[in-house]
Structure 1
Amino acid sequence: MAAAGAAVGLGNIWGFPTQAASNGGGAFLITYLVLVMVLGFPMLVMEVAIGRHGQANPVDSVRKLGRTPLQKAMASLVGYAGMLVPSLVLSFYAIVAGWLLAFLAAAVTRILGWDSATTWLQAFGLERNIVWTLAFYLLTILVVQAGVRRGIERWSARLMPALFVLFLLLFFYILTQDGAMVGLKHYLVPDFGKVLEPDLLISAMGQAFFSLTIGGCSMLMYGSYLNNKENIPRTAFQVTLIDTGVAFLAGLVILPAMFVAMHNGVTIFAEDGSLLSSDTLVFVVLPALFDTMGPIGLVMALVFFVLMGIAALTSSISMLEVPVSYTTERFKAPRPLVTWLLGGGLALFSVIICLNFGTLFGLVIRLSTQNIQPLVGLGFCVLGGWMWGRARLFEELVQGSPELAASTFWRIWPWYVRIVCPLLVLLVIGSSW
């Protein structure tokens, strides 16, 4: 549940519906679900297994897979690249989470009747974006620098079911609104002619890796916390199921709500059919949805954004924890000092992105989630499948699941993750060139 809390966040509720709306709805959904199962889950098993075997930070964990100095050096390069991913992701993630905090504050000011404050909080102005991005960094740094992980993860595990329930309530409410069924059809009925489009494939793979944090070292780090009695394939499947379930539910709410908002006069698509302001889509559609619900909508908005704030924070602390844990272990530096230095540096980078939003925001997202992250996940598969070796990999997995030796999973998965997964990743990446 702690790992699921780290995986479930803005990637599910902001990233997935945005990508689905931008890439044909149902066509993106079916491609995403297929890639999650044929790529995401098998690679997640490998990353968690490497983490449990290493019992250390990402770089030292992958180094233990090598048997010679050259192999250890090659593994270290993959580990360092993997540590770059959560830092890049956090740099744009904190901006989106800042928008989330602003809308949470707006839900409060609207209840209090402070109209001018509500208007400022809901407008995507530069000043507001920087202030709330820094506020989110402050929350993340305070949690990580104290080393307090279990408390917020325990609460996240308790509140994730509440997020499921809230999504279901919103979904059933949306179905009563005009335009909802058109949006539902757009989301659930795929246009199979678009499924193999290169841009859609690369977007779906990037979203699968971003949402499950594959290649981002967070799951490797959580794997390092597992004891030898844990069944790694089962644990990885549970995380995949929870994460994908939240994304699917988010799509069930956001896409029909988008068409409800269009029916109510909100402009969503440009004349050429492209999505307007795709990055801020969720923050346009959800307030419009809550406005249709009358007084109860104010309460629903407050509850929703509180739960989303918790989900965002549980993901961000795992991102910052990756470089912090490495630095504190390697250099024996005080955790508070390291956390403030690294967090402050990333906050400065996020401010630079805000100042150059049109140029840098989308670029950093593509670079981290669609380019570097899949390649790092590919590196973990190659290191684990070939350098680590089948025999040592079997010894690691069988510790928590003795029945694995005679299972169909073990007969297929080692070769699948060594050969098929790398080829699929390269094929999808190559299709975009």
Structure 2
Amino acid sequence: MSSTSSRDSFHSRLGFVLAAAGAAIGLGNIWGFPTQAANNGGGAFLVVYLIVTVLLALPALYAEVYIGNQAQTNPVSALAKACGERFSKLGHCAGIIGIIGAVMMLSFYTIVAGWMLAHALAAIFEIIGLQQISVWLSNSSTLRNLLFTPIFIILSAGIVFQGVHSGIERWSARLMPLLLVMMLGLIIYMLQQDGAQEGLALYLIPDFSQITKPSLIISAMGQAFFSLAIGVGAMMAYGSYIPKGKGVGKLVLSITALDTFIAFIAGLLIIPALFVAQHNGQTVFSDGNLVGGGQLIFSILPTLFSAMGTIGLVVSFIFFMLLSIAALTSTISTTEVPVAYLIEDKRLSRKQATCLTSGIVFIASMLVIIFFEPLFELVIQLLTTILQPLMSLFYFIVVGWLWQRGNKLTNLAELNKKRTLKLLGFYLRFICPVLLMIVFVNIAF
């Protein structure tokens, strides 16, 4: 294994926060969160989401980053090391499962990212008058998937190949501010449209009578947990690239705050946009739920943008490019998980590790495309409702019970008070596993 001194690393706290936030901020935040909010009472969902983010998602993220930071190595070796000699094989196996989860995530995420890029280009081709190409890009097909999925695999590989500082940190520092500026610009534009204020009221004025609904609470807990990209080792890998004990708690707070902020302002964009579409005569809701669920983004919004004329097509291009950037910041972090393992444990060069990982992801994504109907939803279901919750539960057990006689949180330099450490230790050891089990049992069964 490479020594710590020879490992690549993030060169600044801001670089780490932007890269880690980029890993967390993806299609789940910008589309998944607003969709869940629209289906679950708007403002009531937002209130519960914020509460459970603090109670569950934040500690889960801390546990993952902490393990990587203390071990200063890839997720497989980090978990084996954290579990001690007695349970090292268990930790190693858990790390391998995390890598499998990363490949599973990339196998479908690159496909969806390809859809976003295709829709962005469709707007451009419609603007320049090439209507036939625009229509082809807008409609789902196996050929379109076969062409656009490899584009994202290659883009991710190109950035990861450049290394942690030169690739991931540098590109995250470029892409994340661009994502934020584009989103704020779209929000300002959308809120000026007729019908937007009704959506804004639904989103920002909570109906407190809905807050105690079990389905709303479970949806909010699941969304808060999954939106931070916990459970596949990406945050553990990133945590290992910052110096040991450098204020991990504060960094994790920064990541969670930025991720939650992006999810919040995504709601300010998507929910008013749905009501603008409804104002223009489109059917958006049926019996209080969104028509078409997650696929609504590819039907309602493109139609809405087209109805706005040329300016609407420009907005459509910016919107889908925004989603493409969000997807890219997530795919590069997930790609780094198997790459770090192959470099440090299998002694491959970064070029070899990146090419091998990308090749495996390419084969996996092609299989999902070819057998789309049976595999696509199944892979997503297995990853998000089974593998990720179980892996995060394992992280809590490692941090709270297995590590150096259990729960030795020695790196919290910013939390010097023993009482605070004791409370945090108790929370990670007992409360978090119980909360996570509640989420897992209710979602899975």
Note whether the superposition's TM-score is higher than 0.5: yes
Q: 1:247 aligns with which of 258, 263, 282?
A: 263
| Deviation of 1:367 (Å) | 1.6
Q: 1:380 aligns with which of 395, 403, 413?
A: 395
SS in 1 for 2:54: helix
Q: 1:412 aligns with which of 423, 426, 430?
A: 423
Alignment of 1:151-170 (within 5 A): 151-170=167-186
Question: 168-177 or 309-318, which moves further after superposition?
Answer: 168-177
Alignment of 1:246-325 (within 5 A): 246-270=262-286, 272-291=287-306, 293-325=308-340
2:153: which partner in 1?
137
Task: Output the CA distance in 2 between the equivalents of 1:350 and 1:277.
Answer: 24
Verify: 1:364 aligned to 2:379, yes or no: yes
Question: 212-221 or 100-109, which moves further after superposition?
Answer: 100-109
| Deviation of 1:310 (Å) | 2.8
1:4: which partner in 2?
21
1:84: which partner in 2?
100
Q: Are the aligned partners of 1:385 and 1:418 in contact in 2 as well (CA < 8 Å)?
A: yes
Question: 163-172 or 361-370, which moves further after superposition?
Answer: 163-172
1:39: which partner in 2?
56
| Deviation of 1:419 (Å) | 0.4
Verify: 1:428 aligned to 2:439, yes or no: yes
Task: Output the CA distance in 2 between the equivalents of 1:423 and 1:73.
Answer: 25
Task: Output the CA distance in 2 between the equivalents of 1:357 and 1:39.
Answer: 33
Q: 2:233 aligns with which of 202, 212, 217?
A: 217
Q: Percent identity?
A: 46
Alignment of 1:58-137 (within 5 A): 58-69=75-86, 71-137=87-153
Question: 245-254 or 309-318, which moves further after superposition?
Answer: 309-318
Task: Output the CA distance in 2 between the equivalents of 1:188 and 1:366.
Answer: 30
Task: Output the CA distance in 2 between the equivalents of 1:124 and 1:200.
Answer: 32
SS in 1 for 2:411: helix
| Deviation of 1:137 (Å) | 1.6
Q: 1:29-49: CA deviations, max 9, x gaps?
A: 223222211001112112111
Q: Are the aligned partners of 2:407 and 2:429 in contact in 1 as well (CA < 8 Å)?
A: no
Tell me, which stretches of 5 or more residues in structure 2 are unaligned? 1-17
1:327: which partner in 2?
342
1:173: which partner in 2?
189
Task: Output the CA distance in 2 between the equivalents of 1:197 and 1:344.
Answer: 45
Task: Output the CA distance in 2 between the equivalents of 1:30 and 1:417.
Answer: 23
Q: Are the aligned partners of 2:39 and 2:288 in contact in 1 as well (CA < 8 Å)?
A: no
Q: 1:42-62: CA deviations, max 9, x gaps?
A: 121121111111111101101
Q: Are the aligned partners of 1:5 and 1:157 in contact in 2 as well (CA < 8 Å)?
A: no
Task: Output the CA distance in 2 between the equivalents of 1:39 and 1:384.
Answer: 15
Task: Output the CA distance in 1 between the equivalents of 2:59 and 2:347.
Answer: 35
Alpha carbons of 1:190 and 1:372: their partners in 2 closer, same or farther (altered >3 Å)? farther
Q: 1:257-301: CA deviations, max 9, x gaps?
A: 01211221223234x544333222233344345445544444443
Task: Output the CA distance in 2 between the equivalents of 1:348 and 1:300.
Answer: 34
Question: 411-420 or 358-367, which moves further after superposition?
Answer: 358-367
Task: Output the CA distance in 1 between the equivalents of 2:181 and 2:352.
Answer: 40
1:52: which partner in 2?
69
1:188: which partner in 2?
204
Q: Which amino acid aligns with 2:57?
A: G
Instruction: Calculate the TM-score normalised by the size of structure 1.
Output: 0.89
Q: Are the aligned partners of 1:163 and 1:304 in contact in 2 as well (CA < 8 Å)?
A: no
Task: Output the CA distance in 1 between the equivalents of 2:24 and 2:102.
Answer: 12
Q: Are the aligned partners of 1:202 and 1:429 in contact in 2 as well (CA < 8 Å)?
A: no
Q: Are the aligned partners of 2:274 and 2:284 in contact in 1 as well (CA < 8 Å)?
A: yes
Question: 277-286 or 99-108, which moves further after superposition?
Answer: 277-286
Alpha carbons of 1:52 and 1:152: their partners in 2 closer, same or farther (altered >3 Å)? closer
Q: Are the aligned partners of 2:70 and 2:244 in contact in 1 as well (CA < 8 Å)?
A: no
Task: Output the CA distance in 2 between the equivalents of 1:24 and 1:133.
Answer: 35
1:352: which partner in 2?
367
SS in 2 for 1:397: coil
Q: Are the aligned partners of 2:400 and 2:407 in contact in 1 as well (CA < 8 Å)?
A: no
Q: 1:65-123: CA deviations, max 9, x gaps?
A: 23333x21222232222222222222221111011110221232123221111111111
CA RMSD of aligned residues (A): 2.5
